[in-house]
Each structure stands twice: as structure tokens, then as C-alpha cells.
Amino acid sequence: MSDTVSDTRFDEAAFQSLKSEIDAWVRGPGEVWAERIEAEGDVPRALYEELRDLGYMSLAAPRELGGRGIPFTRYLELMEIFSRSHASIRMLAHVNNGTWRAMEPFANDVQREVIKKSVAGDVLVAFTLTEATAGTGADLRSTVRREGDTYYLNGEKHLITFGVKCDYWLLFARLEGTTGQNGTVALLVPNTGLPGAEVIDDSVTMGVRGTDHAILRFTDTPVPVSARLGDEGDGLKVALGGFLLPSRVSVAMSCVGLAERAQELAIHYALKRETFGKKLAERPVIQAYLAENYADIAAARALVFEAARAFENGAPDAGPLSSASKMIAVDMLTRVTDKALQIHGGQGYWHRNPIERVYRDARAQRFEEGTNEIQKTIVARAVLAEAAATAAALKAEAAAGEEAQLEAEVQA
């Protein structure tokens, strides 16, 4: 496929053509794949290869990494479309177009070649942070012990998307004996049967069927120090700023796209279904549901783009806006899918209707890239920190004013 974005000027016409192409794929071949995934409970390698060959794995990465250089805010328009498809299809596009962000600023020359293969869709990298006995931040319990040029990795990870079938784990741990973020490390580790590494397939889930998920256990697993991204102490910088911040915005947009699909299905059913001589669409209560959904989706979408622009521009409030956008979008998706299913009545509860799959898939976003509870903590910290900084500045300004006044009186 030819590039759609110029190095110096965005090609709007080509981009709109790409959007139409992806929309047609999602509604056509994408739905065929969705039915196969639901029936077999697995994402076939052939689907991954099709997405790669279409160029859908390399949309957001810069040209120097082999990507198409589509700006983040415009890439989200494509993620919105992918998210109307099966959740496992969205997940493939989301992860492959995002992990490079975490790795590239910290990569050495050898690691950068792996990143290029990831952007090309030739290798799959799984983001490997979450632990069963800790949160997903500075309380990491997986550890590494350095002996010469080798780290020995110990610990357990869980809920690792693509952790079974991936080619590499982008894995986070801490140096033995450290606390807080200063002792954290990021490692790019090949999934090649390393000594002491146990991979447990934990892929049977409520929704997002077909995507593999892993529990990973490491017992003195040797990893060369050269696999480290950045310096010792950079682990959470790699995880949070490089991946989780923009990924939360992307997940928020996936909520918007899936909500749009739920609304589309609800409208179609309301226009078709007739009870007591009236279409559902003529009934005020159904109209109210559809109107509320419309407003909910539009409001969440606007906040997602505000968060995206903040990240793109390096704004100081990009972090809390990222969390806020996901927080609002997942709550919106819960309301929209619930009303969409209600409009379908009992019919919607049956597996044969697409809204059943949408409803199941929607639940995953409520913990993907952090629950709303942690998002609220992040936002609250930022709000309180800003208030404290403002109060301190006002106090300093007042003190300076008093000192100037006193000096003026002395001189008088």
C-alpha cells in the first residue's frame, strides 16, 4: 500500500480514502473474521497477516521506523473505525500501533531493529506490566538480580495480552532491594522458551474472544543486561509516558467506536421491530434512549480528542486528560451498550445477534490500561497538585508585594 501522509504535509484526500477503505474492510471481511473468531475462540495467524499486508499495523509509527507517520489525533479516527469491529481485531491494531512509542526513545540500535519489525507487523510485542499481587506502577514485585552482564528475573505477570503467542515481551521489573520507581527496569525479552520461564495460556474470557492472554512465571530466568531499554530506573518512564498515557486515550477512543456500533445496531433494530402496530423507533422511551446515547457518545468523543491534542502537543495536563478521557469514555460505553441491549429486548441476549458480542466486549475496557478507580486517583492528584502550586504562587506573590511595600515605606 502506498503512503498516505507526506513528510511535510498531511494528505487529507488520501487519508479520507484510507478511512473509507478501513470502514469497508471492517464491515465486510472484518465481520467474516469476527464470526470465525467467535466460532473458534481463536485469532488465526492469517488474520494477523492480512492486517499486516493491508498496512494496518504500521499506521501511527514515524517513517524512520517504517510506519506511515499518521499524527496521533488522526490515527485515532482510524482506531474509532477499527473499534466497531470485533474486539480482538481492534486489539491487534491498537497494540501494534502503540508499543513502538514506549520503546523507541530508549532503544539501542539492536532493539530499534526489533521495533522496525514490530512496526512492519513481522513480530508481535506484548506489553508485560500487570501483576496479580500488585498494582501496575511503582509497587511492582517482579525483580531482577544483576550478576555481571546478566539479570536473573523472578516474579509473576498476569492478564498479559498476546503474552502466549507474541515474539517478545516488553517486560517491567525492579532491581532486588529497591522500592519506588527509581529501581524499575524495562526489558525487551524474546519469547523463546527461556530457562525458568513458564507461559500459562489464560485466554478463556467473557469478551475479546480469540485474543490470547498469559500468566507468566519467572524463576531465575537469565536475561542479558543488553535487553534493557534505557537505564536502570527508567522502567516506569518507558511504561507510563511512552505507552500507557497515549494508550489510555486510544482505549477511550475504542470505547467511542464500540458505542457507535452499539448505537447503530440499536437504531437499526428500533426501525425494524414492531410491537402493537408501532415501530420501536416511534416510541418516546426508545427515542429518549437513542438521544441520550447520541449525546453521551458526542461528549466522550470531544474529550478524547482534547486529550489526544494535549498528548500530541506535549501539554502539561496530558496525563490527567488521558486518564479523564478513559474514565468518561468507559462509563459512557457502559450506559450506551446497556440501553442498546435494552432496545433489543430479549432478542439482544442471544448469541446470534451482534449486540450480544458488543455488550460482552464492552466490559473489557473498564479495566484495560487501568481501572476507573486508578484513573480517578491520577486525575485527583493532578488537580490537587495544581491547586497547591497555585496557592504557593499566590502566597509568594503576596509576600513579595508586602516586602516591596515595606521597603517603600522605609525609603519614605
DSSP character for 345?
A: G
Amino acid identity at 248:
R
Q: Are 305 and 329 in contact (CB under 8 A)?
A: no
Which pLDDT score, from 0 to 100, does residue 412 have? Answer: 66
The CB density around residue 316, as the number of other CB atoms within 10 Å, is: 10
Rounded CA gap, 225 and 207, in Å? 38
Within the chain, all domains assigned CATH 1.10.540.10 are found at: 12-120
What percent of the chain has a predicted confidence (pLDDT) above 70? 97
The helix (run of H) or strand (run of E) holding residue 37 is: helix 29-40
- Check whether 274 has a pLDDT greater than 70: yes
Amino acid identity at 323:
S
Mean pLDDT calculated for residue range 73-86: 97
Class of the CATH-defined domain 237-387: mainly alpha
CATH code, 12-120: 1.10.540.10
Mean pLDDT calculated for residue range 281-290: 98
Residue 330 CA neighbour count, 13 Å, CB half: 23
The helix (run of H) or strand (run of E) holding residue 288 is: helix 284-312
Which pLDDT score, from 0 to 100, does residue 358 have? Answer: 97
- Check whether 367 has a pLDDT greater than 90: no
Q: Are 183 and 199 in contact (CB under 8 A)?
A: no
**Interval 211-245: pLDDT, tens:** 999 999 999 999 999 999 999 999 999 988 778 89
Q: Are 119 and 100 in contact (CB under 8 A)?
A: yes
Within the chain, all domains assigned CATH 2.40.110.10 are found at: 125-232
C-alpha cell belonging to residue 111: 532493539
Find out if CATH 2.20.25.90 is the number for domain 125-232.
no
Which pLDDT score, from 0 to 100, does residue 406 have? Answer: 79
Bridge partners of residue 228, in order along the sequence: 187
Which pLDDT score, from 0 to 100, does residue 3 have? Answer: 40
Which residues touch 325 (CB under 8 Å, ≥6 apart)? 248, 249, 252, 300, 303, 304, 306, 307
Q: Is the CA virtual torsion 279, 284, 286, 290 positive or negative?
A: positive
The CB density around residue 202, as the number of other CB atoms within 10 Å, is: 16
Which pLDDT score, from 0 to 100, does residue 370 have? Answer: 85
The helix (run of H) or strand (run of E) holding residue 379 is: helix 372-411
Which residues touch 60 (CB under 8 Å, ≥6 apart)? 67, 68, 70, 72, 75, 97, 98, 100
What percent of the chain has a predicted confidence (pLDDT) above 90? 86
Which pLDDT score, from 0 to 100, does residue 399 have? Answer: 87
Mean pLDDT calculated for residue range 33-60: 95
Mean pLDDT calculated for residue range 174-202: 93
CA of residue 28 relative to chain centroid, distance? 25
Which pLDDT score, from 0 to 100, does residue 404 have? Answer: 79
Bridge partners of residue 126, in order along the sequence: 169
Within the chain, all domains assigned CATH 1.20.140.10 are found at: 237-387
Backbone angles phi, psi at 327, to 5 degrees: -60, -45
Average pLDDT, the chain: 93
Cα 168-173-178 angle, rounded to 5 deg: 160
- Check whether 2 has a pLDDT greater than 60: no
Which residues touch 267 (CB under 8 Å, ≥6 apart)? 281, 290
SS3 call for 368: coil
The helix (run of H) or strand (run of E) holding residue 347 is: none
Q: Please provide the size of the chain in residues.
A: 412
Q: Which residue has the higher pLDDT, 102 or 404?
A: 102
Backbone angles phi, psi at 137, to 5 degrees: -165, -135
- Check whether 6 has a pLDDT greater than 60: no
Mean pLDDT calculated for residue range 93-102: 94
Residue pointed to by grid coordinates 510506519 = 67
- Check whether 195 has a pLDDT greater than 90: yes
- Check whether 1 has a pLDDT greater than 50: no
Question: What are the DSSP calls for 74-91, one per residue?
Answer: HHHHHHHHHTTS-HHHHH
Rounded CA gap, 401 and 352, in Å? 72
Which pLDDT score, from 0 to 100, does residue 276 have? Answer: 94
Which residues touch 394 (CB under 8 Å, ≥6 apart)? none
**Interval 140-172: pLDDT, tens:** 999 999 999 999 999 999 999 999 999 999 999
